[in-house]
Structure 1
Amino acid sequence: MDVLKEISKRAKEVDGAVMSYLQEGDVPKLMEAVKHYPAAGGKRLRPVLAIAVANAVSGAGKKAMPFGCSLEIIHNFTLVHDDVMDNDPVRRGRPAVHVLFDMPTAIIAGDAQFARAFEVLTETDVPPQHVKRLFRITANTVWLIAEGQQEDMDFEHMPAADLAIDDYMRMIHKKTAVLFECAAEGGTLIAGGTEKQVAAMKEYARLLGLGFQIHDDVLALTSSEEVLGKPVGSDIRNGKRTLIVLHALHSLDASDPRRRTLEKALGNDGATPEEIKAAIRALDDSGSIEYAKKLALDYAAQARKELDVLEESEDKEFLKGLIDFAVGSRKT
């Protein structure tokens, strides 16, 4: 299976549904802001995951479409607010919402997406005994994402010595992996899966999400601005305490010139492109980028084992392919 081609095909099936839920509104400026990121396209990984899991469990993928769209709208709401908090000027190769419109509109647009997401969720055809559970896990997911985002921002201002790699893993679980978990758990519930399948699919998605975020951190340093759709190394300039940065800061002595090079650029709004490039080289030379790559692959191997709970099918093969995409074949 060509997983990239398959993701693109499945994403296109979701695109129209997502945008159809973002048409109604009486304030043109707000609606333009609400649709700005979703209209840019993307892999639609959260809805694609929910639908694929529902299909793999019992062929109930169509029933999972509204739920998947709800998660995609939630994902976009978090992106709008993230860009406000990080003051990132570009997203998916387009001006960020707060840049194209203004800061207040961006905040309101995110709020509106959040509200619309739960409105869409009400259209999901889910077994009656799981209705409350589906709403609860979705709402709790948004809460955990908020906690993760707060920790991510707080970490930027904390000395590296006060942060452990476990702190980072807890943060990215909340900020990134929980939305994948929600997609897989919800997809299984919608399909009427067993509790064993629910647990396995949730764990599969947790591991997938962790690997995805770690690989994302790698790409943010090793890819190109054209591919990323945002400046390379912006995480360093913003002072992000990524796994790669923490590993380097904990493994390099204070006198090591690579550490001094990294610390000079880390969290420095005025860092020059040359200083950012030098910091990235320091992270590479220290072995921290390779460390992150290996950990992402370890999570991928564990995630693959969780799929044993499913019968063989095209969707199961696709779920295997998603693992490879998340931690290896993905450029952005």
Structure 2
Amino acid sequence: MDISKEIVTKAKEINGHIDAYLATGIENKKLGDAMRHYPAAGGKRMRPILAQVVAEAIGKAGDKAIPFGCGIELIHNFTLVHDDVMDNDLMRRGIPSVHALYDVPTAIIAGDALFARAFEIVAETDVEPAKLPSLMKLAARSIFLVAEGQQDDMDFENIPAEELKEEDYMRMVWKKTAVLFECAAEGGAIIGGGSPEQIEKMKEYAHMLGIGFQIWDDVLALTGNEEILGKPVGNDIRNGKRTIIALHALHNLKADDPRKKTLLAALGNADATEEQIKAAIEAIQESIDYAKNASVECANKAKAALSCIADGPEKEFLSGLVDFAVGRSV
């Protein structure tokens, strides 16, 4: 199975539904354009694809999971809009960020509107009436945890790295990134009529997938191609992000190691030059390799959780999705 092609095919279907959901019911043109700006830019749509494939794997209910998955995708996009405002990132997916193209107030409102539209869509999910409250609560709880994760991420920038542990990073990443993967897979399992064991195992699968995805994202942020990434390489260092890479380097490089001095000169330095950023990345290659290995460990645990579903194309896809998430180049 060619996972990349499968993702493109499935994402195209999801895009059609998202376009339809955002095409009507928005009277203010500026707000509508701002809401559609990120969704229209495309994306891998891993969250709605997860919901759809898990529901299909468990109960042949993939089509029924589409509204729920699209709702989760719009939630993801609303968090991106607000994240870019908070981080003052001017580019996203190779295009201007919403607040850069429009303005900060419009970006905030657009994020809020995406949030509201997401729940309208989730409410359309074709499930037994008794299950709908569980799906709504799952989505709402996930958003709360994402908000906590984002706050942790910002707070970490003002906490000396020596006071932070890898466990702190993992918990932050779980909330900020993995939670929406969990939400998609757990929701898909519920829609598919999964057993309690299957629901829990699919949540575990998505948990490890999400964490592995984010760790790999941290790696790409320092090693990727800037043109492909659509944002400056090394911004995590300039912004002082306490990634697993930065924490590992700071905790394992000795105080008199010149590599640590090089990293500290750039970490959290908004005025760091391109030369300083490049030197800092070169100084922490061992920690980048450590993060790559940690991502692979997450991938292995995610695959192990797939034992709860029967062999078939859906299981093959979910396994391949793990390899894609921790090995992608963009």
| Secondary structure, aligned partner of 1:37 | helix
Measured after TM superposition, the shift of residue 127 of structure 1 is: 2.5
1:319 maps to: 318
1:309: which partner in 2?
308
Q: Provide structure 2 residue ranges, at least 5 long, that are not aligned to the other structure.
A: none
Task: Among all aligned residue pairs of Structure 1 and Structure 2, give the percentage whose two residues are the same amino acid.
Answer: 61
Compute the displacement of 1:26 (Å): 1.0
Q: TM-score, normalised by structure 1?
A: 0.98
Aligned to 2:97: 96
Indicate the residue corresponding to 1:70 in structure 2.
71
Letter in 2 for 1:260: K
Deviation for aligned residue 1:133: 1.0
C-alpha displacement of 1:60:
0.3
Alignment check: 8 A CA contact 2:182 2:204 kept: yes
Query: AA paired with 2:100?
Result: V
Structure-2 separation of matches of 1:309 and 1:139 = 26
Map of 2:244 onto structure 1: 243
Q: Deviations over 1:183-240 (max 9, x none)?
A: 0000000011111100000000000001000000001101111111100011111110
Counterpart-to-counterpart distance in 2, 1:115 and 1:255: 52
Superposition misfits of 4+ residues, deviation over 4 angstroms: none
Indicate the residue corresponding to 1:13 in structure 2: 13
Task: Provide the rounded CA distance (Å) in 2 between the counterparts of 1:73 and 1:22.
Answer: 10
Question: Is residue 56–residue 310 contact of structure 1 (8 Å, CA) maintained in 2?
Answer: yes
The answer for the alignment partner of 1:146 in structure 2 is: 147
Q: Distance in 2 between matches of 1:212 and 1:118?
A: 25
Say how many residue pairs are matched: 329
SS where residue 131 of structure 2 aligns? helix
Partner of 2:295: 296
Aligned-pair CA distance for 1:78: 0.4
Q: Which residue of 2 aligns with 1:116?
A: 117
**Conserved 8 A contact 2:138-2:183:** yes
The alpha-carbon deviation at position 129 of structure 1 amounts to 2.6
- Map 1:152-301; keep pairs closer than 5 Å: 152-284=153-285, 287-301=286-300
Helix, strand or coil: the match of 2:326? Answer: helix
- 1:145-190 per-position Cα deviation (integer Å, ceiling 9, x unaligned): 0000000000011100110000000000000000000000000000
Letter in 1 for 2:139: T
Cα separation, 2, equivalents of 1:131 and 1:114: 18
* Structure 1 match to 2:2: 2
Cα distance, 1:253 vs. partner?
1.4
The CA RMSD measured in Å over matched residues stands at: 0.7
TM-score, structure 2 as length reference = 0.99
Aligned residues of 1:127 and 1:192 also touching (Cα < 8 A): no
